[in-house]
Chains A and B, each alone.
Chain A
Amino acid sequence: MIDRALRYKTETRWFPNRASADRWVLMKIEFSLNQPNQNKRSMSETVWATGDIRLALAELPPIVPLNVRRQIERLLQPWPQGRYTPAYHRSGGILNLFTPQWGEAQDEVWHKMLAEWHAQTFPDDQARRAARAELEQRWNNTPHPFFAGLTPAQVMVGGGEQEAKLADEFLNHLEEFFDETAFDSEGDMLIKTLMFLRSWQLQPLSNGQTPQQIILAERTELLNRRARILAERA
């Protein structure tokens, strides 16, 4: 007897460029990791609670393609003790969907913090290392201008159910608005999409909260849950 039918759902979306379409796939996978399953626990929570990625992967239906499994495995890896550099390779969710790719080389926030650390004098190597570790935690938990104001930790944790729903709604609006629009160039399309996104994230919804506020609060809540589960495990 088959208790869960295999389903392969496809959907059509409008994107200004290939890079954002690729990031959308990653974003959807990140969302799925925070979706509670039948046991009311998400795949991320399973890994945080047990430290066993295989347990979480075992929850995936067999139809999930190998490349997606590999992506999931990568996303579920334990976070670094120090700086959350994998954040550079996460989607950053809907607020970062269209931001052109950037990485450590362009991270002037980190470079500035590091330059200040280099300029300081320390009594010994231990103090120097402690200051560096503190600096890395500060970077992890400080809103980053290139992550649309999310902290690297908020980027690492991925989006939750509410953001997934908001992202779908936004992409529906985007398609409705731009599908028939003629643009001057690819760049024009990207810039207008970004302007559209920034207006959308600021517009209060019926509950009085803006999408930006909802997304930030949900990611913070996911981080709190992660901290609680990790503390229980320890």
Chain B
Amino acid sequence: MSERNRRESTNPQVPSVYREWIHLADEVIAGQEAEPRPDNWQQLALEWCTSNETERSALASYIATYHKKLGVVWARELLRLEVLLQANDPCAIVTHYKRALRAYPRCALIEAWVAGHILRHDGEIWQAREMCLNAAAELPTLAIPFYELGFIHYLLGDFAGALEHYDQAAMRVTAEEADQAARIFYNRAMMQLALTNDKQAAIAGIKEALHYKPDYAQAKETLRDLKHKWRWFR
């Protein structure tokens, strides 16, 4: 039995907690009168799940391609995922994705949304990497798969590969995605520092990150340390 299956099946808490998460998500959906029906599920999925034009167009294209295999039930599961993503509960997100959405045709956009959680919650580096590579190939204008690939290559100890992916993410991220842009520029600066030990370049990169998110605590602390006594490891 695979490690992933073993872990899921040995946690007796998950089924009851999962039902609770879904109940809470359904309450949020009902509270906003967003119950999917045969006449509105496509529209609801598009309106609820993203305000980003690229993402909306990717989701619309997915729905158009697979609409016969999707439908009201799928839309409800997608709306639940959106509620869980907003709540930022990695365990709930990963569990719901695996239980409810993985059975449908692959959706690069949904994978782009959940890959980072699969990586950080399950530690499934190779699975997350495969999902990000697929998302990067299918949706080449999105920054997030490249950002996650950068992080994955950093974890693998491939700093040059990480920097390449952060560069790609930096080229794609928009000013509207300020939080994500800050993380991308910060991590890119750190990889440049790892590869070149050029502190001035790193300082410039971190200042760029702070331009997007002035209250980015980790970036502020690193900037302070770089100006005085920098250590990778304490």
B-binding residues in A (CB < 8 A) = 16-17, 19, 95-96, 99-100, 102, 106, 145-146, 148-149, 184-191, 194-203
Task: Give the residues in chain B near A148, CB-CB below 8 Å.
Answer: 156-158
B161-182 vs A, Cβ < 8 Å mask (1 yes, 0 no): 1000000000000000000000
A-binding residues in B (CB < 8 A) = 3, 7, 90-91, 119-126, 153-161, 194, 231-233
Interface contact A184-B156, CB-CB below 8 Å: no
Given known pairs A99-B156, A201-B157, the reply for A186 and B123 (CB within 8 Å) is yes
Task: Give the residues in chain B near A19, CB-CB below 8 Å.
Answer: 3
What CA separation (Å) do A190 and B3 show in the bound complex? 14
The answer, among B120, B158, B233, for a CB contact under 8 Å with A149, is B158
Task: Give the residues in chain A near B124, CB-CB below 8 Å.
Answer: 100, 187
Task: Give the residues in chain B near A203, CB-CB below 8 Å.
Answer: 231-233
Extra A-B contacts (6), CB below 8 Å, given A16-B123, A191-B120 = A99-B155, A187-B122, A188-B120, A188-B121, A200-B232, A202-B233
Interface contact A191-B157, CB-CB below 8 Å: no
Interface contact A200-B233, CB-CB below 8 Å: yes
Given known pairs A100-B123, A202-B233, the reply for A191 and B194 (CB within 8 Å) is no
Task: Give the residues in chain A near B125, CB-CB below 8 Å.
Answer: 99-100
The answer, among A102, A185, A194, A195, for a CB contact under 8 Å with B90, is A185
Interface contact A145-B7, CB-CB below 8 Å: no
Closest-by-CB residue of A relative to B124 is A187
Interface contact A146-B158, CB-CB below 8 Å: yes
Interface contact B122-A195, CB-CB below 8 Å: no
Task: For the complex formed, measure the closest distance between the CB of A116 and the CB atoms of chain B, giving whole angstroms.
Answer: 19
Given known pairs A100-B123, A186-B123, A202-B194, the reply for A191 and B155 (CB within 8 Å) is yes
Q: What are 25 A-B residue pairs whose CB atoms fall within 8 Å in the complex?
A: A17-B123, A19-B3, A95-B157, A96-B157, A145-B158, A146-B156, A146-B158, A148-B158, A149-B159, A185-B91, A185-B121, A186-B7, A186-B122, A186-B123, A187-B122, A187-B124, A191-B119, A191-B155, A194-B155, A195-B155, A198-B154, A199-B233, A201-B157, A202-B232, A202-B233
Task: Give the residues in chain A near B161, CB-CB below 8 Å.
Answer: 145
What CA separation (Å) do A145 and B153 show in the bound complex? 8
What CA separation (Å) do A62 and B231 show in the bound complex? 46
Task: Give the residues in chain B near A149, CB-CB below 8 Å.
Answer: 157-160
Interface contact B232-A190, CB-CB below 8 Å: no
What CA separation (Å) do A184 and B121 show in the bound complex? 7
The interface residues of chain B, by DSSP majority, are classed as helix
What CA separation (Å) do A186 and B91 show in the bound complex? 11
What CA separation (Å) do A184 and B125 show in the bound complex? 17
What CA separation (Å) do A203 and B160 show in the bound complex? 17
Interface contact A189-B233, CB-CB below 8 Å: no
Given known pairs A185-B91, A199-B232, A199-B233, the reply for A190 and B123 (CB within 8 Å) is yes
What CA separation (Å) do A197 and B155 show in the bound complex? 9
What CA separation (Å) do A54 and B126 show in the bound complex? 39
Task: Give the residues in chain B near A16, CB-CB below 8 Å.
Answer: 123
The answer, among B123, B156, B159, for a CB contact under 8 Å with A187, is B123
Task: Give the residues in chain B near A199, CB-CB below 8 Å.
Answer: 232-233
Task: Give the residues in chain B near A191, CB-CB below 8 Å.
Answer: 119-120, 123, 155
Closest-by-CB residue of A relative to B122 is A187
- The 4 residue pairs across chains A and B that have the minimum distance between CB atoms: A148-B157, A187-B123, A145-B158, A190-B123
Task: Give the residues in chain A near B155, CB-CB below 8 Å.
Answer: 99, 191, 194-195, 198
Interface contact A184-B231, CB-CB below 8 Å: no
Interface contact B158-A187, CB-CB below 8 Å: no
Given known pairs A188-B121, A202-B232, the reply for A106 and B157 (CB within 8 Å) is no
Given known pairs A190-B123, A203-B232, the reply for A184 and B90 (CB within 8 Å) is yes
Task: Give the residues in chain A near B90, CB-CB below 8 Å.
Answer: 184-185
Task: For the complex formed, measure the closest distance between the CB of B223 and the CB atoms of chain A, giving whole angstroms.
Answer: 17
Task: For the complex formed, measure the closest distance between the CB of A93 and the CB atoms of chain B, giving whole angstroms.
Answer: 11
What CA separation (Å) do A47 and B156 show in the bound complex? 32
Task: Give the residues in chain B near A195, CB-CB below 8 Å.
Answer: 155
What CA separation (Å) do A194 and B155 show in the bound complex? 6
Task: For the complex formed, measure the closest distance between the CB of A86 and the CB atoms of chain B, giving whole angstroms.
Answer: 20
Interface contact A187-B121, CB-CB below 8 Å: yes
Most buried by A among B122, B156, B231: B156
What CA separation (Å) do A203 and B116 show in the bound complex? 27
